[in-house]
Structure 1
Amino acid sequence: MTLLAFLLRVIRLDFQPLWWDEGYSVYFAKMSIPAMVEATSLDIHPPFYYALLHWWISLMGASPVALRLFSVFVGVLTVPLLYAFARALLGREVATLAALLLALSPFHVYYSQEVRMYGLVTLLGLASTHFLVLLVLEAEGEARQFHLCRLVVGYVLFAALALYTQYYAVFILLAHLVISVTFWRTSRRFIKLREAHFSRIWALPLAAMALYLPWVVYAGMRLAAYIEGKKAIEQYQPLSLPYFVARYLVAFGMGHLPPQREWALWVGGSILALLALAGLWRMRSRTVALVVVIAYLIVPLSGGFVVNLLYPFHPRYFERILLLALPPYLLFLALGIQTFVYWQGRSLCKKTGVLILVAGLSALSLFYFYTVPRYPEDDYRPLAELVSRLSGPEDVLLCVYPWQVGYFQSYCPRECPSPSPVASSEWGEELQSQLEAFLEGGRKIWFPAFQARGAILENRVEKYLLERAYPVLNKWFGTTRLLLFAPPVEAAYQPTKVRFGEFLELEGYAVGDERVESGHGVVRVKLQWRKLKDSESEFRVRLRLVDVNDRTWAQRDSGPAGDNYPFQKWEPEEENSDPHGLLVPAGVPPGRYELRLSVYSVDEEKSLEAFDGVPPEPSLEYTLGAVEVLVPKEPPGIRALPIEEELRANLGGRALLLGYALPDGP
C-alpha cells in the first residue's frame, strides 16, 4: 500500500502548474531562516514547513518536481502511520483498509503533490494523536516507565511541531484535550495512570501549547491584524453549518472535481459519507476508539466552522485547510465498509464490489486531477520560458506579488533575472525611486503585470515607465500581461512629414540605437504622430528590421503608447509622442539592416500608403534609417535561439548544427 501511495503521488508530478500559494511557499523557503521567521510572522501560516522546505531545497533544488517530492515524501509516510494508528484502535483488518483508503484518497493525493504545509500538518497531527492513543492504551508498571517517557516526549514534540506548521493544528490539540480529560475522568486505566509518574496525561496538550507560546507572543498581534485586513478586503460571507459540513465530507471522500463535474462530486461524496456514518454506528461499542476518532474529527470541524463564522474564508478548494481531519474520517469509512461487508454474513462478492466502487470513485477524481489543470489562467511556465530565452544578464524582473517571485525562483532560478519585489505595495516615492534607479542603470525591466485583482499598482507602474522608457513587449499569459521596457536613450530628433493614408501624419522621429547586439539589444524609436481625421478602423504600428533581400529579422506590432492609447481615442489634430522598442533576437547575423515603419488596419489587414511628398510613388513602408547589428559580447544560450527542431549535428568537426526552424507552408 505504501508503494501504491507513492506511485499515485508521483504520477504526472509536473503536470499541474504552480499556483499562488505554492509560489508563496517557494518565496518564504528561499529566505534565510531569520528573515523567514520575520516574514511568516506577518503571514497566515507559521514557519516550520517553510524551514523544512528551505533545507530540502538546499539538497534537491527548487524545480517544481523537486519541491513536490517533499510533499510526496510526507504524504507517503502518512500511510503506514495511519495503519499503525488504526491497528492500535480497531485491529489489523480495519487498519489495512484505512491505509488502503488513504493511499487511494484523491483529497490526500492532491495535497501530496502541492508545495504547501497541509500534508505535513496532517502527518504531524496523526503522529501526535497516535502517541496519545498509545499512552491511553499502555498498561501501568514500573518496567514501562522509560517507554512511557518516550511516548510523552514524542507526543509533545509532534504536537508542538504541528502547531508551528499550521494554525489550525490547535484544533487537534483541543481534540486531544477532550480525549485526555474524558478518559482521565472515566477510565479505570486512566485512574491507575493518574497515580503514576505520568498521571496527568490531560496536561500534555497544554505542555505542547506552552512550547508554542513564544510564537504566539511574537506573531499573535501581527496575525490578528493580517486576518482583520484580509477579512475587510475579501468580504466572504459565512457558510451555513449544513453546507460547511457537507463540503468537507464530500471533499474528504472525493477530493476536488472540475466545476462541470460538480454533480459527480456530490453523488460520490454522499455515497462515501453514508458508509462513514455506518462506520460511526459500528464503532459505538468500542469506547476508546469512539471517543478518540469522534473528537479527532468533530473538534477540528467545529473549530473550523467557528472560524468560518468569525473570519469567513472559502475560496475555491478551501477544504484543504482541514486536511488534518481526513484520517479519522477514513477510519469511519473503513469501519463502514467492513460493516457493509459483514452485514448478514461475510460475502467476498460484497467486499469486492464495495472496494471496486470506492476505487472507481477515487479513479474518477484522480483522472481529472491528472488531466485537467486546476489553475490554467495562472500558469507561468510559458511566461517564465519566454523571459528565460529573451532576458539579458543585466535585466530586472520586477514582481508585485511574493508568489510571482516564488514562481520565477522555481521555474527559472538561473536562466531568468533574479526577481526583485517592488519596494512598496503602494504607489509612492519609494517605488518611483526604485524604478528610476533601474532606468538610470541602463537596465531593461521585465514586468509581469497581474490583472485579476484590479491591477491598480500595475497600471501606475506601467504608466510611469511608458512616460520614461521604451515599451518592447506586451503579451498576455492568462491573467498576466508580460511587459518589457528598455531604458531611455539620447537620440537626435528628425523632423519629417510623412502621411499614412488620410488619417495619420508622422511629424518626426528619433532612432536611439544605430548599433545593437543581437540577442539582448533593443532598437529604441520615438515617433511623433498627428491624427488627421477619425476612422472607424483600428490602426497599429509595425516596425521591421530587414536585410538587403527584404527578409524580416525582427518585428514589433503595437498600438501607440504600448497599446494603452489607440489612435481611435485621439481627437483630430491631436499630437502625441509614441515610443517603441524593437528587440533584436538571438541569431540575427551581424551586418547592416534597414529599420522600416508601416501603419496597418487591423480590420482590413491592409497597410496604409506612406508618402513623404517626394517621388517616386507612395509605398507601404517608410524607412527610418539603418541599424548595424553586432556580435554579442556574451553569446546567448541555445535556448534563446528560434530552434524548433534541435539536432546538435557535428559537421566534420568544423561546425555544429544546433537545429533548424521551418516557416509555415503547404
Structure 2
Amino acid sequence: MGLLLAVLLAGLALRLLRLEWQPLWWDEGYSAYFATEPLGRMLWLTARDIHPPLYYGLLHGWILALAPHGSPLGAAVLRTFSVLAGFLALPAMIWLAATFFPGRRRVPLLAVLLLAVNPMHLYYSQEIRMYGLAMVLGMVSTGCLWHGLRSARHGRPDWRPLLGYVVSSALALYTLYYMGLLVAAQLAWALWHLREEPRRWRPWLLAGLAVGLLYLPWLLYAVPNLLGYVQDKVQADQDRPLDLFSYTVRHLRAFLAGHVAAPDRLRNLLMTAGGVGLIPLIVATRSSSTSTQRPPAEADARQALWAFLLVPAGLAFLLNLRLPFFPQGGERLLLFALPYFLLLLAHGLDRGLERSRLATVALACLLVGAGAGVWTFLSVPRYSEEDYRPIVAQITQQARPEDTVLAIFPWQVGYWRVYAPRQPDGSLVPPQPAPLGQEALRWGPAMATAIDQALERGTVWFPAPLAFGSTLPGEIETYLQEKAINVVNRWFSATTRLSAWAQVPTPEAQAHPAALGPVTLLAAGFAPGEVASANQPVAVTFQWRRPATGTYHVALRLQDSQGYVWAGRDYEPLGLFAAPDPADRGDQLTEQVGFLIPAGLPPGPYTLAVGVGDGDGSRLFPVDDATGALQDLVPLGQILVVLPPSPPAPVRLPIQFPLETPTVLQGVTVLGGATLPPDQAALAGDELPVRIFVGFEESAADSLQVHLHLLNRDGHAVASWEGWPLVHHPPDSWPPGALAQLPISFFLPADLEPGRYRLAVGLADQATDQATPPAVLTAVGVTRRPAQFEAPSPPHRLDPPIQFGTHARLLGYGLSPQENALELTLYWEVLQPLLPPHHIFVHVDTAAGETIAQADGPPETSAGPAPSGSWLPGEYLATTHLIPLPDGEGAESPAQIRVGLYRPGDNVRLPASRGGEPVGDAAVLVWPRP
C-alpha cells in the first residue's frame, strides 16, 4: 500500500510540473474559447466541431469554480482540470488491474507505475483537451463491463455494474467520438464471451441499447453539421492515409515514449529503449508460459485486453484509410487504449519476473525510455510559433479601449480570454476580439464594412496567422493598407505577424533634403503636432530618392532635449509602406508610416527624428548637419505631448516586470519596471538602463525620491541610484490619476563579479525620512569582459607612450592597409575606469591637415564592446578600428592619423601628454609608407 501511495503522489507531482511554461496551442485555444462561452452557444459551437460537448461543459464549470467572475483565468486554471483527469486515471488503473488480475498482487503496482511515468499520458494530463478525461471514462466503463461479466459468470447477476457501464460509456461518447470504437469492442467481446450462453446476452444488448438511446439526442443534433465539417477538414488538411506499418510504429512509439521529438541523439536513443525493452519481455514471458499453466480467468482477461486494444486500433486504421486525418500527434485519438496496452505489459512483466531476469531488464528499458520521454516533455519548448502571450501583452499595453482586435479563428479568441488581464470589475481589459462561429471567414463586403467601422472607432490590431495557406490575412492587410496607416508591424514568429492600423490625417511632406549614407531624404512631414500620452497614433510621410541597390533600415525616434529616446519605431526595408507613385517617378518613392505615443510620457515638446542604416539595423549612417558635426538622426520637427483628459489604466504602461504587490508611499505607487530582456546580460562597467512606472493617486511631495539598488545574494547593494529623474517634472507637478515613466540609468562597477543580481526599487521622502522596503523587480545577469594583464608588443611602439588625462596610455599601434580601407589596432594601458563613457576618434589627415576619413565610436576589441567604464586598472586593451578611405585616394595621399578620446555628449576631448608634457588632445600616428 505504501508503494502504491508513493507512486500516486509521484504521478500527481509530475503532472503539476511547469503547468504554465508551454503556451497554449490552437486546439487548446479552441477549448478555452468553447468553455468560456455560455452553455447554449457552446453546444451550438461543438455541434459544428470535431468533438462532442461534455469536456467543454465540465471545463466551463471548473472555470467558474476556480476562477469566478473577476478572477484572472490563466493557463494553469484550465490545465489543472486535465491534471485532475490524469491523476484520477492512476487509481483507476490500480482498480482495473486488480479487477482483471485479482490473483496477481504485483500487477497493480507495475501498471500504475508504467502509467504514472508514461510520457504520452503525462502530455494529456496537462493539455487542455478531452483525451485524458475520455481515457478515464473508458477505464471505468471497461471495469464495470468486467465486473458485470464476472458476476454473470458466477451466476450472481448484479445490475450495478450494468448501470455503471451504461453511464460511463455514454459519458465517454459525449467526450470523444472515437470512444464509440471502444464501446463497439466491449460489446463485441461481451457477446463473444457469452457465446455459449446466448440467454445471457440480453442484459448487454439492453445496456448497448441504453447507451445508444442516451447518445441519440446528440447524434440527431450534431451529425448533420459534423459530416460536412469532417469532409471539409479532410479536404482542407490534405493528409495522406498512413500505411499499416507506419500507423503501428507511430502508435507504439507514442505509447512508450510520447510524441514530443527529442532534441538530441542520446535522448532519442534513450526514448527508443522502451521499444527495445519489449524484446526481453517477450522472451521472458514465453519462458515463463512454458512452465506455468495460466488460469482460465487470466487467459480471458488477456484476450479481452487485446480486444480492447486491437479492435479500436484496427477500426481507427480503417477510418484513416477512408477519411485520412492524422495530424502531428494524431496518436492522441487512441489514448483511451493506452491503459490496456500498459496492463498487458504489467501482466507480462509480472509473469516474467517469476521466472526470468530478462523481465527485470525489460522493466528497466521501459522505465528508461519513459524517463527520457518525460524529461523531453518537461524540457523541450513546444508551440513557440503559436505563443500569443507577448502579442496579448503588447496589444494590452499599446491599445486604447476603443480599439479593435481582429481575430479570424476561434482559437485566437480563446488565447485572449486566457491571457488578457482583467479590470477591477472583473471584465476583460478591452480591446477583445469578437466571438466567432466555426465557419471559415471569407473576404467580402461584410468584413470590409466591419473593418471600416473599427477604423472609425480607433486602431485595428490584426495578429495575422500565416501558417494555414489562407489568402484571407493578405486580403485583410491589403485593404487596411488602402484605408489606414500602419503603426505597428512586428513578426513574433515565422508564421505570426502583428500589425496595427489607424486612420490619421495624412501629413503633407515639406522639403527636407538630407543625405543619410547612400539614401537621400527629399521631404518629410508628420501629424498631428499635439498628441496625448495615451497610445495616440502619429503619422509620418517620407519622400525618398530610391536607392539604386541595397536594403536599408529606417529608425524613427521621439527624443527629449537631452537626447533620451521615449518612443518611435523601426522597420525595414525602406519603402516597405510605399504607395504607388501616380507621377511614375522611378527614382522616388513616398511612404507613410505611423507610431504610437505611449502612456506615461511627461508632457512637453519632443523632437521627432529619423535615421537610416544597414539592413540589419546594427548601425545608422552618419549625417552631416549644418555645423559639420556628425550625427545619425535628422530632426523633422517638434511634437507637443500633453496629458490625456482621462488618465489611461495602468495596464497601458509598457511594464516589462510588474510588481505583484505595488510599492506605495504618499499616494505614489510603483507599478513595475523595465530593463534589459531576460536573455540579455549587463556588462560590468557599463550603464544599466531602467524605466520605473508609477501612478499618482494624489498629489505627491516634491521631496519624494526613487531608490534603485542592484542586490547581491546577501542582499547588499553593489550599485545604487537615488533621486527623481524628471528634473522638469517634479513629483508634485503630476495631477492625481496620472501615470508616468521614469527613465533611470546607472553604471555598474567595472570590477563587479559575473553572476545574477536582483534589481530592487523603493520610494523615500527626504523631508519625513519615510521609506518603503526595496521591492524586487527582476533578476539581472552581469558579465565581465575578458581582461588581459600582460603587456602587449605593438608593431609600432610609442616611446614614450601618450597619456590621455589620468585614465589611459596609448602604447602603440598596428596598421594594415587594405583596398580603400585601413585596419587600425590601438594598444592601451588602462590606469583607471573612464566615466562618463568616452569614445575613441580616429581621423586620417592629408599633409595639408584636411581630414579625409574617420571612424569615431565606442571602444571595441576583437572580443566585442569594451566601454571605457568597464576598463580595469592595470589592464591592457587592443581596440580595433576599420576606417573606409574615400574613392580616388591612394596610399600616398594620407600623411598622418590622429587618435584621441572624447565625450560623445558634448565632444569634449581628453588632454594628451607625452613624458609629462602636454601635446594637445590627440596622438599623431605616422602613416605607413610602402
TM-score by length of 1: 0.88
Question: Given residue 271 of structure 1, which amino acid in structure 2 is its aligned partner?
Answer: V
Shift in Å, 1:422: 7.0
Q: In the alignment, which of 250, 254, 260 is matched to residue 251 of structure 1?
A: 254
Residue in structure 1 matched with residue 63 of structure 2 by the alignment: 57
Residue in structure 2 matched with residue 417 of structure 1 by the alignment: 431
Residue in structure 2 matched with residue 316 of structure 1 by the alignment: 328
Q: Is the 8 A contact 2:404 2:459 kept in 1?
A: yes
Shift in Å, 1:393: 2.3
Question: Given residue 378 of structure 1, which amino acid in structure 2 is its aligned partner?
Answer: E
Residue in structure 1 matched with residue 133 of structure 2 by the alignment: 120
1:245–1:280 Cα change, 3 Å:
farther
In the alignment, the residues of structure 2 paired with residue 121 and residue 457 of structure 1 have an alpha-carbon distance, to the nearest angstrom, of 35
Q: For 1:570-595, what per-residue CA distance to the aligned partner results, in whole angstroms no more than 9, with x for missing partners?
A: 98536554222221223311112122
Shift in Å, 1:272: 4.3
1:547–1:103 Cα change, 3 Å:
same
Where in structure 2 are the equivalents of 1:218-297 lying within 5 Å?
218-258=221-261, 260=263, 263-264=268-269, 267-274=272-279, 285=296, 286-297=298-309
Residue in structure 1 matched with residue 49 of structure 2 by the alignment: 43
Shift in Å, 1:9: 0.6
Q: Is the 8 A contact 1:530 1:573 kept in 2?
A: no
Shift in Å, 1:268: 2.3
Residue in structure 1 matched with residue 472 of structure 2 by the alignment: 457
Q: Is the 8 A contact 1:444 1:487 kept in 2?
A: yes
1:658–1:73 Cα change, 3 Å:
closer
Pair 1:446-2:454 in alignment:
no
In the alignment, the residues of structure 1 paired with residue 596 and residue 497 of structure 2 have an alpha-carbon distance, to the nearest angstrom, of 15
Residue in structure 1 matched with residue 447 of structure 2 by the alignment: 431
Residue in structure 1 matched with residue 83 of structure 2 by the alignment: 72
In the alignment, the residues of structure 1 paired with residue 326 and residue 591 of structure 2 have an alpha-carbon distance, to the nearest angstrom, of 45
Please say which of residues 38-47 and 577-586 is displaced more in the overlay.
Answer: 577-586
In the alignment, the residues of structure 2 paired with residue 284 and residue 230 of structure 1 have an alpha-carbon distance, to the nearest angstrom, of 48
In the alignment, the residues of structure 2 paired with residue 241 and residue 560 of structure 1 have an alpha-carbon distance, to the nearest angstrom, of 50
Q: Is the 8 A contact 1:506 1:529 kept in 2?
A: yes
Q: Is the 8 A contact 1:14 1:64 kept in 2?
A: yes
Shift in Å, 1:396: 1.7
Shift in Å, 1:503: 4.7
In the alignment, the residues of structure 2 paired with residue 510 and residue 11 of structure 1 have an alpha-carbon distance, to the nearest angstrom, of 51
Residue in structure 1 matched with residue 366 of structure 2 by the alignment: 358
Pair 1:216-2:230 in alignment:
no
In the alignment, the residues of structure 2 paired with residue 182 and residue 644 of structure 1 have an alpha-carbon distance, to the nearest angstrom, of 64
In the alignment, the residues of structure 1 paired with residue 41 and residue 120 of structure 2 have an alpha-carbon distance, to the nearest angstrom, of 33
Please say which of residues 165-174 and 579-588 is displaced more in the overlay.
Answer: 579-588
1:156–1:439 Cα change, 3 Å:
same
Q: Is the 8 A contact 1:444 1:484 kept in 2?
A: no
Shift in Å, 1:540: 3.4
Pair 1:622-2:635 in alignment:
yes
In the alignment, the residues of structure 1 paired with residue 507 and residue 238 of structure 2 have an alpha-carbon distance, to the nearest angstrom, of 54
Where in structure 2 are the equivalents of 1:523-534 lying within 5 Å?
523-525=538-540, 527-531=541-545, 533-534=546-547
In the alignment, the residues of structure 1 paired with residue 263 and residue 222 of structure 2 have an alpha-carbon distance, to the nearest angstrom, of 41
Where in structure 2 are the equivalents of 1:178-577 lying within 5 Å?
178-186=188-196, 193=200, 199-258=202-261, 260=263, 263-264=268-269, 267-274=272-279, 285=296, 286-344=298-356, 354-414=362-422, 415=429, 417-420=431-434, 425-441=441-457, 443-490=458-505, 493=508, 495-496=510-511, 498-500=513-515, 503-507=519-523, 509-511=525-527, 513-525=528-540, 527-531=541-545, 533-559=546-572, 563=576, 573=586, 576-577=589-590
In the alignment, the residues of structure 2 paired with residue 245 and residue 509 of structure 1 have an alpha-carbon distance, to the nearest angstrom, of 65
Pair 1:167-2:199 in alignment:
no
1:52–1:73 Cα change, 3 Å:
same
Question: Given residue 305 of structure 2, which amino acid in structure 1 is its aligned partner?
Answer: V
Residue in structure 1 matched with residue 678 of structure 2 by the alignment: none
Q: Is the 8 A contact 2:83 2:125 kept in 1?
A: yes
Residue in structure 1 matched with residue 113 of structure 2 by the alignment: 100
Q: Is the 8 A contact 1:517 1:631 kept in 2?
A: yes
In the alignment, the residues of structure 1 paired with residue 151 and residue 535 of structure 2 have an alpha-carbon distance, to the nearest angstrom, of 70
Q: Is the 8 A contact 1:278 1:339 kept in 2?
A: no
Q: Is the 8 A contact 1:49 1:117 kept in 2?
A: yes
1:399–1:236 Cα change, 3 Å:
same
In the alignment, the residues of structure 1 paired with residue 192 and residue 641 of structure 2 have an alpha-carbon distance, to the nearest angstrom, of 84
Percent of pairs with identical residues = 34
Q: For 1:583-632, what per-residue CA distance to the aligned partner results, in whole angstroms no more than 9, with x for missing partners?
A: 12233111121222334443683337488xx9999974032343223256
Give me the CA root mean square deviation: 3.3
1:647–1:339 Cα change, 3 Å:
closer
Q: Is the 8 A contact 2:406 2:460 kept in 1?
A: yes
Shift in Å, 1:451: 1.9
Shift in Å, 1:519: 4.0
Normalized per residue, which structure has more strand? Answer: 2
In the alignment, the residues of structure 2 paired with residue 475 and residue 46 of structure 1 have an alpha-carbon distance, to the nearest angstrom, of 37
Report the 3-state secondary structure (helix = DSSP H, G, I; strand = E; otherwise coil) of the residue aligned with 2:37: coil
In the alignment, the residues of structure 2 paired with residue 4 and residue 649 of structure 1 have an alpha-carbon distance, to the nearest angstrom, of 37
1:174–1:646 Cα change, 3 Å:
closer
Pair 1:598-2:614 in alignment:
no
Q: Is the 8 A contact 1:545 1:553 kept in 2?
A: yes
Report the 3-state secondary structure (helix = DSSP H, G, I; strand = E; otherwise coil) of the residue aligned with 2:194: helix
Q: Is the 8 A contact 1:601 1:608 kept in 2?
A: no
Where in structure 2 are the equivalents of 1:622-661 lying within 5 Å?
622-631=635-644, 633-637=646-650, 640-642=653-655, 653=666, 655-658=668-671, 661=675
Question: Given residue 456 of structure 1, which amino acid in structure 2 is its aligned partner?
Answer: T
Report the 3-state secondary structure (helix = DSSP H, G, I; strand = E; otherwise coil) of the residue aligned with 1:113: coil
Q: For 1:441-463, what per-residue CA distance to the aligned partner results, in whole angstroms no more than 9, with x for missing partners?
A: 2x212211112223521111112
Report the 3-state secondary structure (helix = DSSP H, G, I; strand = E; otherwise coil) of the residue aligned with 2:566: strand
Shift in Å, 1:483: 2.8
Report the 3-state secondary structure (helix = DSSP H, G, I; strand = E; otherwise coil) of the residue aligned with 2:352: helix
Q: What is the total number of aligned residue pairs between the two structures?
A: 645
Report the 3-state secondary structure (helix = DSSP H, G, I; strand = E; otherwise coil) of the residue aligned with 1:522: strand
Question: Given residue 361 of structure 1, which amino acid in structure 2 is its aligned partner?
Answer: G
In the alignment, the residues of structure 2 paired with residue 123 and residue 355 of structure 1 have an alpha-carbon distance, to the nearest angstrom, of 24
In the alignment, the residues of structure 2 paired with residue 5 and residue 215 of structure 1 have an alpha-carbon distance, to the nearest angstrom, of 35
Please say which of residues 270-279 and 85-94 is displaced more in the overlay.
Answer: 270-279
Please say which of residues 373-382 and 554-563 is displaced more in the overlay.
Answer: 554-563
Please say which of residues 163-172 and 373-382 is displaced more in the overlay.
Answer: 373-382
Question: Given residue 402 of structure 1, which amino acid in structure 2 is its aligned partner?
Answer: P
Structure with max Cα Rg: 2
1:658–1:165 Cα change, 3 Å:
closer
In the alignment, the residues of structure 2 paired with residue 600 and residue 364 of structure 1 have an alpha-carbon distance, to the nearest angstrom, of 47
Q: Is the 8 A contact 2:664 2:670 kept in 1?
A: yes
Question: Given residue 332 of structure 1, which amino acid in structure 2 is its aligned partner?
Answer: L
Please say which of residues 539-548 and 364-373 is displaced more in the overlay.
Answer: 539-548
Shift in Å, 1:218: 2.0
In the alignment, the residues of structure 1 paired with residue 154 and residue 311 of structure 2 have an alpha-carbon distance, to the nearest angstrom, of 32
Shift in Å, 1:203: 3.8
Q: For 1:340-366, what per-residue CA distance to the aligned partner results, in whole angstroms no more than 9, with x for missing partners?
A: 21125xx7xx77655444332221111
Question: Given residue 72 of structure 1, which amino acid in structure 2 is its aligned partner?
Answer: V
Shift in Å, 1:430: 1.2
Q: Is the 8 A contact 2:488 2:501 kept in 1?
A: no
Gap regions ≥5 residues in structure 1: none
Report the 3-state secondary structure (helix = DSSP H, G, I; strand = E; otherwise coil) of the residue aligned with 2:92: helix
In the alignment, the residues of structure 2 paired with residue 446 and residue 545 of structure 1 have an alpha-carbon distance, to the nearest angstrom, of 22
Shift in Å, 1:16: 1.9
TM-score by length of 2: 0.64
